Chains A and B, each alone.
Chain A
Amino acid sequence: MTLIPTMPIGPLDLLVKAALAPPPVAEAAWAEWRKGYALDETPWNEVRLLGAVAQRIGWLEPDADILPRIRGIQKFLYAQSQLCLVGAMGGLRILAEAGIPMLFLKGAGRVAVDDGIARERLVRDIDVLVPIDRRDEACARLIAGGWHLRGYWQVLWRDFNSLAGHHGWSLSRGKGEIDLHHFSNNLNRLIGDDDGLWARSARVTWRGIEVHVPSATDNLLLAIIHGLRWSRDLNADWIIDGFRAISSGAVDWALLLAEARRRRIATLLHAGLSYLRDALDAPVPPETIAALKAMGTRRQWNEAHFYTRVSLPFNLEQNAAFLAMAVERAGDVDVPEVRHQATITVGSRDVKLGNWQSIDITGMLKQGGTRLTVHLDAPAAPGTRLVGIIFILGMIFDCREAEVSDAEGQGPGCTFTFVLHPTLLAGRGVSRIVLRVTEAGSAPVIPWGNVHPEQ
């Protein structure tokens, strides 16, 4: 089972090899690309790679007639990256002045250490991870500073505060784009998932701003996870980033395996590292490849299969794959469950259900309902604070916190109200949600920034 469609093929594969592979392979790939393809007809996703090729053009083909243009492309990529960085500086200063810690991810994480990497790799936006408890403030400050959320989905995510339903917001202002992450990637969205990333990061001062940058191991891991997900247009930035991380000699392979196990991403890492080893002769230890292969599960493969082909609207297979892994990840932490009977008001009907049961919301959506009220009868002693979590599309969609009370003298109970927006769910084949209830504060797994006390 190979995740072929996300790996470079054809001319892009040749350019990747020309840019990064050992000299004999690079020379052969470059010669083949020159023979089969014309620069004037090269699409943008391949032109981008010529910045990396330019660094080797002196020995790949020193008398190439297109050499001045290739060197110009390298300068173009560098300048375009700088334009992006210049555009983002105002927003980054806003966050810095507010004392919000920032951890640069992907290209930005590399540029902060070495500005020169923009010679070989376009930096189109700044990916910034902020602590989850500062993300609302960070977003609000950027918006107050003239930045705006990019597009309909971003606004919906903010308005419905479905923190765990996504991993970040995209904001822009003029030529600047900032991806404001509260999780480092789309698959690992549980409290604590990025603690190690922060702990292993290094502090650097970049253009007068103090930022954190990931370790080589985390750079490699995140390059693959992001690259296999978002590189459907087959840009090869993730390959450059991953290859450079490996070439640095600073990757802690034991740590990578531990993270693969903890984050349950072995199958994706196996696919990415296999490509880097096989196509580019990247020095990935054979035992790492073997361990990742052994660690992967069918469930992970299902998720990876759809993760790398994701498109909207989601389909049922994708939902099932994501749901299975999300539940597995969420179940990784020992969360004491609350035994209860719940009455769910779905549209006009009351439905009894227990923990981890799924709820059919088809009727509610058809009626245009937006509020899902969950009442738990006698879930715990009065005064106990509980958290209700709903999963939709395999992701934690929302969390609400409520206190058990006996306000009506009919026995202790508590009520959660979740806001669902039909637009968010339309066309995604969503028919059911999953409810889980636990005691507040007992679950480090819960993205508590998303928990709202009931009014």
Chain B
Amino acid sequence: MTQLRTDAAFHVNSRIVAENFDDETVLIDVDNGVYFSMQGSAAAVWRAFETPQVPASACAELAADLPEPDREAVARLIAELAERNLIVEAEAAPPAPAGLLSRFAATSFALPVLGVFTDLADLIAIDPVHEVDDQAGWPVRPAGGDNQA
């Protein structure tokens, strides 16, 4: 996994479009067509970078009230967001002041889940009515199918 620069501020990549669908947020990289599915607290973590944040500081702030395993999950997600270019270094942009992010509450925190589907064109080939899992819907194929990266 890529090591993040500890002193650099990151923000959401402007080439990512995002849309909320009930309890899921879909992100698409408009340059390369990679499709991301965010569930749990993942979208909230990603959206925290709508203003530039130093990853370690953002993680500490967001997860301040969480138990250690959950804090680690948030840290892993932030690292993956950077690795997948969902957040990128904010050139010349100073990080937002500390204390502005909403902390996750331990009682309602849902583990962040990031699904990655590397080729949107392949996903579109899946018939959303007949070739999907009845309980999950598109783009999840029935058990046995696998299109996640």
Annotate A64-79 by CB proximity to B: 1 below 8 A, 0 otherwise. 0100111111111011
Annotate B114-146 by CB proximity to A: 1 below 8 A, 0 otherwise. 000000110110101110111111111000000
Q: A79-B123, A82-B28 are in contact. Are A68 and B17 (CB under 8 A)?
A: no
- The reply to whether A83 and B137 form a contact with Cβ atoms under 8 Å apart is no
Interchain CB contact (< 8 A) of B26 among A73, A79, A83: A79
Considering residues A40, A70, A76, A119, which has the most beta carbons from chain B within 10 angstroms of its beta carbon? A76
- The reply to whether A69 and B30 form a contact with Cβ atoms under 8 Å apart is no
**A residues 274-310 with Cβ under 8 Å of B?**
none
Q: A79-B26, A86-B120, A175-B121 are in contact. Are A42 and B129 (CB under 8 A)?
A: yes
- The reply to whether B35 and A69 form a contact with Cβ atoms under 8 Å apart is no
Annotate B15-57 by CB proximity to A: 1 below 8 A, 0 otherwise. 1010101101010101101010000000000000000000000
Interchain CB contact (< 8 A) of A119 among B15, B21, B24, B123: B21
CB neighbours (8 Å) of B137 from chain A are 68-73, 75
Q: Name the residue on B nearest A74 (C-beta).
A: B21
Considering residues B15, B30, B140, which has the most beta carbons from chain A within 10 angstroms of its beta carbon? B30
A395 on interface, CB distance cutoff 8 Å? no
**Chain B at the A interface: SS class:** loop
CB neighbours (8 Å) of B35 from chain A are 79
- The reply to whether B121 and A83 form a contact with Cβ atoms under 8 Å apart is yes
Tell me, in angstroms, the Cα distance from A266 to B137 when the chains sit together. 43
Tell me, in angstroms, the Cα distance from A208 to B14 when the chains sit together. 9
CB neighbours (8 Å) of A82 from chain B are 17, 28, 30, 33, 120
CB neighbours (8 Å) of A39 from chain B are 129
CB neighbours (8 Å) of B24 from chain A are 75
Tell me, in angstroms, the Cα distance from A421 to B124 when the chains sit together. 40
- The reply to whether A69 and B121 form a contact with Cβ atoms under 8 Å apart is no
Count residues on chain B whose CB falls below 8 Å from chain A CBs: 30
CB neighbours (8 Å) of B15 from chain A are 207
CB neighbours (8 Å) of B21 from chain A are 71, 74-75, 78, 119
- The reply to whether B26 and A76 form a contact with Cβ atoms under 8 Å apart is no
Q: A71-B21, A116-B19, A119-B21 are in contact. Are A76 and B124 (CB under 8 A)?
A: yes
Tell me, in angstroms, the Cα distance from A157 to B136 when the chains sit together. 47
Tell me, in angstroms, the Cα distance from A82 to B134 when the chains sit together. 24
- The reply to whether B19 and A72 form a contact with Cβ atoms under 8 Å apart is no
A163 on interface, CB distance cutoff 8 Å? no
Tell me, in angstroms, the Cα distance from A80 to B15 when the chains sit together. 17
A85 on interface, CB distance cutoff 8 Å? yes
Q: Name the residue on A nearest B24 (C-beta).
A: A75
- Nearest CB on B from A85, distance (A): 7
- Nearest CB on B from A372, distance (A): 47
- Nearest CB on A from B125, distance (A): 10
A47 on interface, CB distance cutoff 8 Å? yes
- The reply to whether B128 and A69 form a contact with Cβ atoms under 8 Å apart is yes
Tell me, in angstroms, the Cα distance from A39 to B129 when the chains sit together. 7
- Nearest CB on A from B17, distance (A): 6
A133 on interface, CB distance cutoff 8 Å? no
Q: Name the residue on A nearest B117 (C-beta).
A: A79
- Nearest CB on B from A346, distance (A): 52
Interchain CB contact (< 8 A) of A69 among B14, B22, B124, B132: B132
CB neighbours (8 Å) of A75 from chain B are 21, 24, 26, 137-139
- The reply to whether A69 and B129 form a contact with Cβ atoms under 8 Å apart is yes
Considering residues B19, B132, B139, which has the most beta carbons from chain A within 10 angstroms of its beta carbon? B19
CB neighbours (8 Å) of B120 from chain A are 79, 82-83, 86
Q: Name the residue on A nearest B29 (C-beta).
A: A86
**A residues 192-245 with Cβ under 8 Å of B?**
207-208
- The reply to whether B19 and A78 form a contact with Cβ atoms under 8 Å apart is yes
Tell me, in angstroms, the Cα distance from A69 to B35 when the chains sit together. 18
CB neighbours (8 Å) of B133 from chain A are 68
- Nearest CB on A from B117, distance (A): 9
Q: A86-B30, A86-B31, A115-B19 are in contact. Are A80 and B129 (CB under 8 A)?
A: no
Q: Name the residue on B nearest A83 (C-beta).
A: B120
A3 on interface, CB distance cutoff 8 Å? no
- Nearest CB on A from B138, distance (A): 3
- The reply to whether B121 and A73 form a contact with Cβ atoms under 8 Å apart is no
Tell me, in angstroms, the Cα distance from A443 to B123 when the chains sit together. 52
- The reply to whether A68 and B136 form a contact with Cβ atoms under 8 Å apart is yes
- Which residues of B come within 8 Å of A, CB atoms? 14-15, 17, 19, 21-22, 24, 26, 28, 30-31, 33, 35, 120-121, 123-124, 126, 128-130, 132-140
Q: A69-B134, A71-B21 are in contact. List 9 more A-B contacts (CB 8 A).
A: A40-B129, A68-B135, A68-B137, A69-B137, A72-B139, A76-B128, A82-B30, A83-B121, A208-B14
